[in-house]
């Protein structure tokens, strides 16, 4: 049975890395001693080692050790045997590119569907959807495919932003971009605001956190989902 936390962000403004999620993660990973971290998204081009160090510091607060996937000789075996897995944020294009390059997307999907507890933030949440086409990231590399894990039956738009009243910015809003996506695609999109996350238990998907989320479906008006509701598409 799937057991996932799919979070919009790793850091809420004014707090430390993962601090806002730690009480939830302590329960989510309550039987876990060592977590396997996937640092492929490399925010700001950070090295795998430096990224893993940041994650180790955060999880030490709930007494969980962390080992980066790049530290294992056999990546596929590491994911198959992991007690728990965390994929951090950064650039979704590079994350997906590396998962395909190392031929581990299918292995990761199998692990999650078999019940390995998982945390994704930002890019690590984007890959839980049907595909990565609703990422906000620059296409700095060209992955072999935009198809991702499909652990949930819709896509995530992480860090979702509402239009700002009286703003003089003339660029597209997130809502405009998602509407453009739905001209050509049927896949539903959930705009997940900062500080919100999805809790996935088997096929049950529940919105958690302080904020509502915005659900977009083709040829329908967007719907606000309140925290605590089960997400159905």
What are the helix (H) ranges across 15-116?
A: 22-28, 48-59, 75-81, 92-101, 105-113
Q: Report the SS3 class of residue 40.
A: coil
CB count in 10 Å sphere of residue 145: 11
Identify the burial level of 176 via C-beta atoms within 10 angstroms of its C-beta, where 0-12 means exposed, 13-18 middle and 19 or more buried.
exposed
Q: Among 122, 125, 196, 199, which one carries the catalytic annotation?
A: 122
> Hey, what's the torsion of the CAs at 77, 78, 84, 86, to 10 degrees?
-120
Cα 85 to Cα 187: distance, rounded to the nearest angstrom: 26
Q: Is 124 helix (H, G, I), strand (E, B) or coil?
A: helix
Active site residue 137: yes
Q: Determine whether 199 is an active site residue.
A: no
Given the residues 159, 182, 212, 227, the one annotated as active site: 159
Q: Tell me how far apart the alpha carbons of residues 220 and 183 are, in angstroms, rounded to a whole number.
A: 12
Instruction: Return phi, psi of residue 209, to 5°.
Output: 110, -175
Q: Which of 10, 28, 70, 137 is catalytic?
A: 137
Place of tokens 């990224």: 51
- Annotated active-site residue 47? The verdict is no
CA separation for the pair 84, 112 (Å, rounded): 9
**Which residues have a catalytic role annotated?**
122, 137, 159
């Amino acid at each position: 049975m799937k057991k996932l936390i799919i979070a919009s962000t790793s850091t809420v403004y004014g707090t430390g890395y993962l601090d806002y999620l730690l009480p939830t993660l302590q329960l989510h990973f309550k039987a876990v001693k060592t977590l396997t971290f996937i640092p492929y998204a490399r925010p700001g081009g950070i090295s795998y080692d430096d990224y893993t160090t940041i994650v180790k510091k955060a999880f030490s607060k709930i007494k969980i050790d962390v080992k980066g996937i790049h530290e294992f000789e056999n990546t596929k075996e590491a994911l198959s045997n992991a007690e728990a897995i965390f994929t951090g944020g950064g650039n979704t294009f590079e994350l997906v590119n590396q998962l395909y390059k190392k031929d581990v997307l299918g292995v990761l999907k199998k692990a999650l569907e078999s019940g390995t507890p998982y945390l994704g933030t930002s890019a690590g949440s984007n890959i839980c959807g049907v595909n990565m086409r609703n990422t906000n990231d620059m296409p700095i590399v060209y992955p072999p495919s935009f198809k991702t894990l499909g652990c949930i039956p819709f896509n995530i738009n992480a860090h979702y932003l509402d239009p700002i009243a009286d703003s003089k910015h003339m660029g597209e809003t997130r809502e405009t971009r998602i509407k453009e996506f739905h001209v050509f695609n049927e896949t539903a999109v959930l705009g997940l605001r900062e500080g919100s996350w999805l809790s996935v238990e088997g096929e049950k998907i529940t919105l958690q956190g302080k904020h509502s989320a915005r659900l977009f479906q083709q040829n329908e008006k967007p719907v606000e989902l309140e925290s605590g509701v089960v997400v159905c598409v």
